[in-house]
Structure 1
Amino acid sequence: MLGGRRVARIGFGAMQLALRPGDQSAAGRDKAMTVLRDAVTKGVNHLDTAQFYGAGACNALIRDALHPFPDDLVIVSKVGARDDGTGLVAAQRPEELRAEVEANLTGLDVEQLAVVNLRRLDVPPGLSAEGDQIVDLDSQLAELTALRDEGKIGAIGLSSVGPGQLRQALPAGIACVQNAYSVLDRSSEPLLDLCREHGIAWVPFFPLGSAFPGVPKVTEHPAVVQAAASLGATPAQVGLAWQLAHYAQTLLIPGTSDPAHLDDNIAAGSVRLPSETVVALDRLADSLD
């Protein structure tokens, strides 16, 4: 469940489709729209996006490919940054959060966003809040709660937070949490434990690692590669299946611009890891300490 809506556990993260305006060829745009349509046709009903992905290009692709949206499609967006035309800049102040919500509504041509995640900028990777962009969480939650009361968003989520911030936000009603987390990066485990305690959906980003320096790639770890070979699956599918086995309310949003990879990602939802494989993979993080 996500914001009171039932969704498939394998969703779709649209960030990889976010080519900047002027960089999109007609062929590339058509391919991206095909991937989006195929995802929905194949049962994906949870799309993760943001107006600041590609300066609005990502939302425009989603709108053009899928509007009018199916009734069961849950579109989740993110606020806390904006694209100023040259790249991402922080947008943490309450009035900026509201402006980004309005921009998402316009970009997607909808009256309500099912869930809006507040992306905090307290810790790396990515942008950091400085100066007047250092905003207290309560002020941000008050603005998002007002937007929810107005019917412009259905539910509130958090991204890149710690356990203390989630506890602080609980009275506002939190539908989901997005933090970096993988079989090789368990630093957010205390936060996940808190989500378990309160039945909050967990939507990990970088579930297979990332391109940031120093972040290990799950698909290259020998134990993951070996598990994949024994199961007739891909290493990526094993990494994603481990996430699904780790918490019943984990929702994944792997993204791709490749139709073949889309099929592989969706198929990860059918991969069942033997208990001994789960235990072995659980121990991998210990070897990195």
Structure 2
Amino acid sequence: MTDPVAHAAGSFAIAGKKVARLGFGAMRLTGLGVWGEPDDRDECIRVVRRAVELGVQLIDTADSYGPYVSEEIIREALHPYPDDVLIATKAGLTRNGPDVIKTAQGLVRLGPKAWPPVGRPEYLRQEAEMSLRRLGLDHIDLFQLHRVDPKVPLEDQVGELKDLQDEGKIVAIGLSQVTVDQIERARRIADIATVQNRYNLTDRSSADVLDHCTGEGIGFLPWAPVGAGELAESGGPVDRIASAHGATSSQVALAWLLARSEVVLPIPGTSKVAHLEDNTAAAQLRLSAQEIDELTHSV
């Protein structure tokens, strides 16, 4: 049953396609620590298909999710892809194991140590070619540099993506976790369609990047978009606003992002259909100007 809820978020054009501004992040279609197969692959396939039924048109993944598992699940779920769906993927981070491990004391997060950046041009080209194969595409609508490798000149990394674009293997180029200066250096080499930085109610360290993207008309994909921290605790601003609307804290966090700028395309992720439906309903939530102002000035 098709119910394009996500379309209520409005649209933004990437790679010549207008997509609903509320997308889906596919990192969680994997095992613990973003490593290996998920506990329930069939449910993950249902999640991807249900996302499209709900009007989601931007599905964001990466070669390093699994690694490779997320891309493979997306292909199994959707190939051949609907014409209005844009598959975005990334390369530039490698994996040396899960970023969360189980110990006798509980879960231990390894964080960035499990995600070493590699931006050598030949590696980025290899991963683009492999993503094309895994996803079953003859071109990738949006191919993003997952991280800037400090050991390789940024110009060489973006230059290789520009070469792939000129060859017709990718349509649009994106960056992830970059500064304003890096965006402008990259734009001297190629058009930059999107930037994907961490940004949410409690982490606004990329506010200058978002403002720059807004001014330049560059799509901004905030990752970890539902983070609300203490603001969502009982009696806090997110909790109060959610109660007033009969909504969840995650929906309020997403609605605030959508209101923050017309270039924002949140990509919440999950491996459960029920959670997906809950997140996608945020597209229909309209916060008042007073509520937006309160959340904006809450940290």
1:238 is aligned to 2:252: yes
Which residue of structure 1 lines up, in the alignment, with residue 200 of structure 2?
Answer: 182
TM-score by length of 2: 0.85
TM-score by length of 1: 0.87
Deviation digits for residues 210-249 of structure 1 (CA, Å, limit 9, x no counterpart): 9xxxxx4654471111110111111110000000001012
1:268 is aligned to 2:286: no
* Cα distance between partner residues in 2 of 1:22 and 1:36: 18
1:203 is aligned to 2:221: yes
Which residue of structure 2 lines up, in the alignment, with residue 170 of structure 1?
Answer: 187
Deviation digits for residues 42-92 of structure 1 (CA, Å, limit 9, x no counterpart): 211110001111021111111111111111110000111123577543321
Which residue of structure 1 lines up, in the alignment, with residue 17 of structure 2?
Answer: 5
Which residue of structure 1 lines up, in the alignment, with residue 74 of structure 2?
Answer: 62
Unaligned runs of 5+ in 2: 1-12, 99-113
* Cα distance between partner residues in 2 of 1:47 and 1:191: 22
* Cα distance between partner residues in 2 of 1:2 and 1:111: 18
2:67 is paired with a residue of what secondary structure? helix
Contact 1:209 1:217 (C-alpha < 8 Å) held by counterparts: no
Contact 2:226 2:268 (C-alpha < 8 Å) held by counterparts: no
Amino acid at match of 2:261: Y
Contact 1:10 1:265 (C-alpha < 8 Å) held by counterparts: no
* Cα distance between partner residues in 2 of 1:277 and 1:46: 27
Q: List, as ranges, runs of 4+ consecutive aligned residues in structure 1 with deviation greater than 6 Å.
A: none
Amino acid at match of 1:175: A
2:140 is paired with a residue of what secondary structure? coil
1:155 is paired with a residue of what secondary structure? strand
> Counterparts in 2 of 1:60-209, with a 5 A limit?
60-83=72-95, 88-121=115-148, 134-171=151-188, 172-209=190-227
Deviation digits for residues 124-178 of structure 1 (CA, Å, limit 9, x no counterpart): xxxxx5xxx6111111111000000011111101100011111112231010111
Deviation digits for residues 262-286 of structure 1 (CA, Å, limit 9, x no counterpart): 111111011000000011011012x
- Are residues 193 and 37 of structure 1, via their aligned partners in 2, closer, same or farther at CA, if it must alter by over 3 Å? same
User: How many residues align structurally?
Assistant: 268
* Cα distance between partner residues in 1 of 2:51 and 2:290: 32
* Cα distance between partner residues in 1 of 2:230 and 2:44: 25
Unaligned runs of 5+ in 1: 122-128, 211-215
Q: Residue 29 of structure 1: CA displacement?
A: 0.9
Contact 1:175 1:201 (C-alpha < 8 Å) held by counterparts: yes
Amino acid at match of 1:152: K
- More helix per residue: 1
* Cα distance between partner residues in 2 of 1:22 and 1:242: 33
1:18 is paired with a residue of what secondary structure? coil
| Aligned Cα root-mean-square deviation (Å) | 1.9
- Are residues 23 and 6 of structure 1, via their aligned partners in 2, closer, same or farther at CA, if it must alter by over 3 Å? closer
Contact 1:9 1:251 (C-alpha < 8 Å) held by counterparts: yes
